[in-house]
A and B are shown apart, each in its own frame.
Chain A
């Protein structure tokens, strides 16, 4: 038996039944006390009239309330039926696992204004109320997470509420993993009948053989798939597949270019004049129209000036269609900050190009105007005491024999506070001074100068494709070119026992070419050859400029490694700097929620990338008490003082889920082998429980209303 309402919105009118009661209470007069003379006459009069007046009021109130109740119920079109919506539920005791597809394709709008997931949740809520006590059931998410929403339970009410309060996720479908999880759950039970009921839109993405469990011939799971795709108001027409951002440095305006690639998902219908708009910092910057032939990817470029070098956050959006989440794609861009570099020339010459710093200065700022983001300043050793090295991000010592007295202490403090030191050697270098005075800075000791005789082959870089962020751009031809560079003299170095270091580059003889180490917040790089042409021909090679610039940027923590982590939903954020020593990180999520990732050496830094948007990473000096760090991710109410923005990264939806193509039953049957699979369109499911088949209660209720009103009028008239 069930009572359903065709227009349940009118049930809100039931609240109006409180109005007569409210009026009654509000107009109930306060009892007054009056001293009166003829009270005995009042007593006599009351005895004669009391029978017909007092009960009438309560009766009138009751009749009015009943009339309103019945009228509201009548408007809601109640249908009484002896058969409830139990076609998905077996009569016999069974174990049923419901798989609710909560991938973002289920967030497509329906004709009634909700989403497919909302409809599925409602349907599940209705079913949950009818689940028999002897039936145990569980609920599993059908998205990539395939989490168990609810373990085995036998009470449907609370789970129904739990599900109805949920919304679709931004993840992709992973029906294979969900079915595997369901099978795992069913294997735990001893119920004779085992069933899997899947509420899905049959989006093709996620039905992969690899995720499905191996079914044996003895498995007798009955699988019923309820297809909600028919409820979708309009198909998903287009999706933004990618957004890339770069910046042109060779113009005075520093133009930021945003390229958005949009795909027409329809196989037959071209899209004309599709609006594409660019938004940054919640402000629409630009809008354009594109024509999209069917099944094609069309790029649309936007450009805007960003002279300040400020970080850019935004998204590109296309106009609405059947599925919202893939209509917007976020991007973030961190323009390179101007890096001030102090180049200390240890061997200045009157002829400019013979100076030690000549090639370094040209490589760092090739146009000699303030267009590059690296601003070198050349200083001789004599000028060095007048410089404030804290004003510079990177200090490069080029063939310096020895530093002015006490300057090494200042240099050490500079590195400890985050400065970068790049030391290049040469013939002027005094190894004794370096080994004794710069022992706290350099992780190696300088041993001897290795010089190749003119008749022998010079040293070369022994380079392979490297994952090092400073070197990962050198692949292919550039890498080959770098291998050909000839080094005639190099310093042989020996690691210090008490210092940690890494060697990202070596020479062909196995000697380190570049030694990298950390000190405090800063970084120290030692190049064991010279940065002029005295010991090699590297400065005149095409790769010298990018090589030096990248190492400078890298040492200044300026490489765009973080913002290049354009993640998909549920992909974890990986560490982009080895350690970021001495810092505590915080991640601000798109909704404003701030979490502190767990402090661990794990490569994964942050996993909670469940919503698309721009995530911001903040860092601050490490807390004094390391024990206070939680081993798990913790939510903090606000950013602590002293935090500074370390970078941003974006999370976007996987457009593989945008494909409107549905998987046919035959293909599902093929994937699931010999299992009994039944496909039920949601329309038919509704028909089986269609309330029109029951007895409509509208007319009897209206008759009741008439009766109540007639009675009420009679009483009022009599009174």
Chain B
């Protein structure tokens, strides 16, 4: 179902010309899925650079560990039996009478799997929301990342989960795959309990090695073993990016009056005056955010904290710039 149009200012390979309207489909009709073309236009000028060499099938912008025939010359080496004869540089043979073989740096495609938290807590909607709700904010974020990755011919997959994997779209790099991803995003219905450890524990064996894993979640879970889970991912040499998305209400607890808080997951309801617990709550949530930040830094994971009130482009730009600087180093 077409519910809107996306204007792109950069060409999508094999699909469209600049300044073309791309139809937005698969969105839940009840949601206000705001797909701001300007955000995507700004972000598309920045390239997502992988930190290390990743293996890929398709040629792309990411450097590969494998040296072979490619468009970019690397170095010469002495010919040894077994080398491809077509790689012998005959000009050098004519000048020096020695056989040298050209070596090229081979660029490959990145495989990226986006883990999208579709648990009940992601469905929090504030009564005074004027911008994006939490789930829409996360959808937009994932859509933007997917679009960027696909634009640079990387393969992108999407896994929705709560206490188990709800749906899984394997990584593909075809431009038309974007529609599949959008479909997957539009079909997200928040529900269930967050079980990150169980889900990643089951997925980690199936993830391609040296690929990228983007985890988008509010990380509002009683689980205490997230550090162990992230360590496991890093041991598989996966590049992990962790986006923690929270609504400002979840950070500041701005409510007033006698309120019964009903859980979006499976916690029992709590009736209280927020005034009584506000300071305590704020301290707790800040402690949790700081805890995740420290863990991620210690494991070499990019941790990005986003409030839904933060402009999405600002968060992504900051992240990509940071990534770029890390790649250069």
Query: Which of chain A's residues have a CB closer than 8 A to the CB of B250?
Result: 36-38
Binds A, one of B91-99, B106-114, B266-274: B266-274
Q: Bound state CA distance, A42 and B268, in angstroms?
A: 11
A 45-77 to B, binary, CB cutoff 8 A, 1 in contact else 0: 110111001100000000000000000000000
Flag if B260 contacts A31 (CB, 8 Å). yes
Q: Bound state CA distance, A41 and B218, in angstroms?
A: 13
Flag if B258 contacts A31 (CB, 8 Å). yes
Flag if A31 contacts B259 (CB, 8 Å). yes
Flag if B255 contacts A34 (CB, 8 Å). yes
Q: For the complex, is B264 an interface residue (Cβ under 8 Å from A)?
A: yes
Q: Bound state CA distance, A48 and B272, in angstroms?
A: 13
Query: Which of chain B's residues have a CB closer than 8 A to the CB of A50?
Result: 272, 276-277
Flag if A29 contacts B257 (CB, 8 Å). yes
Q: For the complex, is B262 an interface residue (Cβ under 8 Å from A)?
A: yes
Contact partner of B281 (CB less than 8 A), chosen from A31, A42, A54, is A42
Which B residues from 166 to 182 make CB contacts under 8 A with A? none
Flag if A36 contacts B263 (CB, 8 Å). yes
Flag if A36 contacts B264 (CB, 8 Å). yes
Q: Bound state CA distance, A53 and B258, in angstroms?
A: 13
Contact partner of B277 (CB less than 8 A), chosen from A32, A33, A42, is A42
Q: Bound state CA distance, A49 and B281, in angstroms?
A: 10
Flag if A53 contacts B276 (CB, 8 Å). yes
In the assembled complex, how far is the CB of residue B183 from the closest CB belonging to chain A, in whole angstroms? 26
Which B residues from 192 to 219 make CB contacts under 8 A with A? 218
Flag if A41 contacts B276 (CB, 8 Å). no
Determine the main DSSP class of A at the interface with B: helix
Q: Bound state CA distance, A671 and B120, in angstroms?
A: 102
A31-B258, A33-B259, A54-B276 known; A39+B269 contact, CB < 8 A:
yes
Flag if B263 contacts A49 (CB, 8 Å). no
Flag if B276 contacts A49 (CB, 8 Å). yes
Q: For the complex, is B5 an interface residue (Cβ under 8 Å from A)?
A: no
Q: Bound state CA distance, A38 and B278, in angstroms?
A: 13
Q: Bound state CA distance, A42 and B123, in angstroms?
A: 18
Flag if B261 contacts A39 (CB, 8 Å). yes
Flag if A30 contacts B258 (CB, 8 Å). yes
Q: For the complex, is A44 an interface residue (Cβ under 8 Å from B)?
A: yes
Nearest CB in chain A to that of B127: its residue? A34
Query: Which of chain B's residues have a CB closer than 8 A to the CB of A53?
Result: 273, 275-276
Which A residues from 434 to 462 make CB contacts under 8 A with B? none
Q: For the complex, is B304 an interface residue (Cβ under 8 Å from A)?
A: no
Size class of the A contact interface (CB-based, 8 Å)? 20 to 34
Flag if B276 contacts A34 (CB, 8 Å). no
Q: For the complex, is B220 an interface residue (Cβ under 8 Å from A)?
A: yes
B 232-275 to A, binary, CB cutoff 8 A, 1 in contact else 0: 00000000000000010110010111111111110111111101
Query: Which of chain B's residues have a CB closer than 8 A to the CB of A281?
Result: none
Query: Which of chain A's residues have a CB closer than 8 A to the CB of B86?
Result: none
Q: Bound state CA distance, A42 and B279, in angstroms?
A: 11
Q: For the complex, is B297 an interface residue (Cβ under 8 Å from A)?
A: no
In the assembled complex, how far is the CB of residue B261 from the closest CB belonging to chain A, in whole angstroms? 4
In the assembled complex, how far is the CB of residue A37 from the closest CB belonging to chain B, in whole angstroms? 4
Q: For the complex, is A43 an interface residue (Cβ under 8 Å from B)?
A: yes
A45-B281, A54-B276 known; A35+B259 contact, CB < 8 A:
no
In the assembled complex, how far is the CB of residue B135 from the closest CB belonging to chain A, in whole angstroms? 11
Most buried by A among B268, B275, B277, B285: B277
Query: Which of chain A's residues have a CB closer than 8 A to the CB of B218?
Result: 37
Contact partner of A33 (CB less than 8 A), chosen from B120, B260, B275, is B260
Nearest CB in chain A to that of B284: its residue? A41
Nearest CB in chain B to that of A43: its residue? B270
Query: Which of chain A's residues have a CB closer than 8 A to the CB of B253?
Result: 42
Which B residues from 99 to 127 make CB contacts under 8 A with A? 120-124
Q: Bound state CA distance, A42 and B284, in angstroms?
A: 9
Nearest CB in chain A to that of B119: its residue? A37
A 4-48 to B, binary, CB cutoff 8 A, 1 in contact else 0: 000000000000000000000000111111111111111111101
Nearest CB in chain A to that of B222: its residue? A40
Q: For the complex, is B83 an interface residue (Cβ under 8 Å from A)?
A: no
A41-B281, A46-B276, A49-B276 known; A34+B261 contact, CB < 8 A:
yes
Contact partner of A34 (CB less than 8 A), chosen from B220, B247, B262, B279, is B262
Flag if A40 contacts B259 (CB, 8 Å). no
Nearest CB in chain A to that of B218: its residue? A37
In the assembled complex, how far is the CB of residue B189 from the closest CB belonging to chain A, in whole angstroms? 15
Flag if A40 contacts B267 (CB, 8 Å). yes
Most buried by B among A30, A31, A32, A33: A32
User: What are 30 contact pairs spanning A and B, CB under 8 A?
Assistant: A30-B258, A31-B258, A33-B259, A33-B260, A34-B259, A34-B262, A35-B124, A35-B261, A36-B249, A36-B263, A37-B120, A37-B218, A37-B220, A37-B247, A37-B250, A37-B263, A37-B264, A37-B265, A38-B220, A39-B261, A39-B262, A39-B267, A40-B267, A41-B284, A41-B288, A42-B272, A42-B277, A42-B281, A43-B268, A45-B284
Given contacts A42-B277, A46-B270, 14 further A-B contacts (CB under 8 A): A31-B271, A32-B260, A35-B263, A35-B264, A36-B124, A36-B261, A38-B220, A38-B285, A42-B261, A45-B281, A48-B280, A50-B272, A53-B276, A54-B276
Q: Interface residues, chain B, CB within 8 Å of chain A?
A: 120-124, 134, 218, 220, 222, 247, 249-250, 253, 255-265, 267-273, 275-277, 279-281, 284-285, 288
Q: 5 closest A-B pairs (Cβ-Cβ)?
A: A37-B121, A45-B280, A29-B257, A45-B277, A39-B263
